[in-house]
Amino acid sequence: MDRKMLFKEIVEKKKELNILVRRKQSLHDREVYQKSCELDELVVLYMKEKQ
C-alpha cells in the first residue's frame, strides 16, 4: 500500500475513532480501544513507508 492510501485510511480511521468516542463518551471502552489500536497500526505502517 502506498503512502497516499495509508494517509487516507489514517484520516478515515481518526474520524471513526472520534465518532466512537463521542458516542461511547469514554476512552476506556473496549471498542474505542480496538479502534485506537487499528489507527496505531496504520500509523506504524505509514512511518515505515516513510523510511
* Grid cell locating 48: 515505515
Domains: count for the chain: 1
Q: Residue 3, Cα to own-chain centre: how many angstroms?
A: 15
Q: Residue 48, Cα to own-chain centre: how many angstroms?
A: 16
Confidence of residue 29 (pLDDT cuts 50, 70, 90): very high
What secondary structure letter does DSSP report for 28? S
Q: Are 17 and 34 in contact, with CB atoms under 8 Å apart?
A: no
Confidence of residue 51 (pLDDT cuts 50, 70, 90): low
The one-letter amino acid code at 50 reads K
pTM: 0.88
Range of the domain at 37: 3-50
Q: What is the C-alpha separation between 37 and 47, in angstroms, rounded?
A: 15
